[in-house]
Amino acid sequence: MTTGLGATLVRAGRRLLSSLPALFGVLVFTFLLMRVLPGDPAVFFASGPNAGKEEIEQIRKQMGLDKSVPEQLVFYLSDIGHGNLGRSMMTGQPVLKDLRERLPASLELTFTALLIALIAAVPLGVVAALRPGSVVDHGVRLFCALGVCVPTFVSGLLLIYVFYYLLGLAPDPTGRIDVFTSLPPQRTGFLSIDFLLAGDVEGWWAACKQLILPAVSMALFVIAPLARITRASMLVSLGSDFVRTARSVGLSCRKVVVTYALRNAILPVITIAGIVFSTMLGANVLVEKVFSWPGVASYALDALLSSDYAPVQGFVLLMASLFVLVNLVVDICYGIADPRVSIE
């Protein structure tokens, strides 16, 4: 067992090392891209009612834009080396601090959404695969199609309209916690966990209630790929020799489907789940906006619109690092799901 774990760790470490050049490339590329984009952040931020040339120069200097691009890049890289991602003009805070405060919000939302999506999608896919062409299969297909064609902000607004505005069941869609609830001491940054650690069940329930609507509207959008891939891979697996053998020796239906077919079918689902997770994290900006969720994606979008370089660069770096991590986790999950797999 130890050797197995050790091997996994070595593999993971090697994986991590080999991703460093890619991360560096992303870093430099985003840096250059932001500078190539038209739009001068200094002019934008100097938009007080009387800001003139002097103010613009002032901000340019403050943002370090008065230097040449290669010089800026060197400064930027050395700052990154010291763990400094720069300062956001928008919030006036160091980017690292902003991201640290906002990332748990995004992660909590994305994890919950992915969990909801997986819980819904895998059974749906399995059921559809068991009876291909039946009413159930078509029902699942219709549901998936609907989920994909309704953009997340539309489903988000619809959910708000029904559950908050009409029925009054959901709390007001303004962020992670009701403004009148006091926050638990921050440990993980995940409110649902922090409340539990603080032993505050009422607060935990309040945080969960805030989380449900945005998570569901995000989940609706990703159920389709997950359910479809589960169905497809289950079909292959159900039609294979080992399932036929299992059936013929008279194993229970449950054992055949869950233990043999599903376990073999789950690999592609894990891959897709990993990809879906990374996409959701970056692309949930619309949900974050609609629910005033203080996450990283809406932060990056605001920064991009105002050409605030540092937050955008910080965000891309964060996303790239997360992508590397997620891929790593997916690889490790492979090993657990199917011990025959060893990725080098």
Is there binding between residue 149 and another protein (CB under 8 A)? no
Class of residue 207 by CB neighbours under 10 A (exposed 0-12, middle 13-18, buried 19+): buried
**Position among 143, 292, 332, 337 found at the interface with another protein (CB under 8 A):** 292
Q: Would you call 32 helix, strand, or coil by DSSP? A: helix
**168 forms part of the interface with another protein (CB under 8 A):** yes
Among 27, 85, 89, 95, binds another protein (CB under 8 A): 89
Residue 94: strand pairing partners? 87
Nearest to 307 by CA among 27, 99, 44: 44
Q: Does 90 bind another protein (CB under 8 A)?
A: yes
Nearer to another protein among residue 55 and residue 79 (C-beta): 55
Please identify, using beta-carbon distances, which residue of 47 and 321 lies nearer to another protein: 47
Minimum distance, C-beta of residue 281 to another protein, in the bound complex (Å): 19
Which of 12, 19, 55, 332 is in the footprint of another protein by CB under 8 A?
55
Q: Does 175 bind another protein (CB under 8 A)?
A: yes
CA geometry: angle 195, 93, 68, nearest 5 deg: 145
Whether the CB-CB separation of 310 and 75 falls below 8 Å is answered with no
Specify the residue, 31 or 291, whose C-beta has the smaller distance to another protein.
291
CA 316 to chain centre: 13
Would you count residue 307 as binding another protein (CB under 8 A)? Answer: yes
Q: Are 313 and 89 within 8 A, CB to CB?
A: no
Report the residue from 5, 53, 185, 340 that binds another protein according to the rule CB under 8 A. Answer: 53
Q: Are 133 and 292 in contact (CB under 8 A)?
A: no
CA 12, CA 3: separation in Å to the nearest integer? 14
Say whether residue 185 binds another protein (CB under 8 A).
no
Of the residues 8, 40, 208, 236, which one makes contact with another protein according to CB under 8 A:
40
User: At closest approach, how far in Å is the CB of 15 from another protein?
Assistant: 35
**Rounded distance between C-alpha atoms, residue 116 and residue 121, angstroms:** 8
Cβ 294 to another protein shortest distance, Å: 5
Total residues belonging to the chain: 344
Residue type, 248: S
Whole-number Å distance between alpha carbons of 16 and 20: 7
- We find the least distance from the C-beta atom of residue 3 to another protein, in angstroms, to be 41
Q: Does 41 bind another protein (CB under 8 A)?
A: yes
- The separation between CA 308 and the C-alpha centre of its own chain, rounded to angstroms, equals 22
Q: How far is residue 292's CA from residue 143's CA, in Å, rounded to a whole number?
A: 27
39 vs 268, beta carbon nearer another protein: 39
In the complex, least distance from residue 76 CB atom to another protein, rounded to whole angstroms? 19
Distance of alpha carbon 290 from alpha carbon 23, whole angstroms: 31
Q: Compute how many residues bind another protein; rule: CB under 8 A.
A: 59
Q: Is 323 exposed, middle or buried (0-12, 13-18, 19+ CB in 10 A)?
A: buried
Question: For the chain, percent helix, then strand, then coil, each to nearest 5?
Answer: 75, 0, 25
Position 284 contacts another protein (CB under 8 A): no
Site string for another protein, 215-254 (x = CB under 8 A): ----------------------------------------
Q: Is residue 165 part of the contact set for another protein (CB under 8 A)?
A: yes
Closer Cβ to another protein, 98 or 331, answer by number: 98
Contact residues: another protein, CB under 8 A: 37-41, 43-56, 58-59, 62, 89-93, 98, 101, 157, 160-161, 164-165, 168, 172-175, 179-180, 182, 198-203, 289-292, 294, 298-299, 304-307
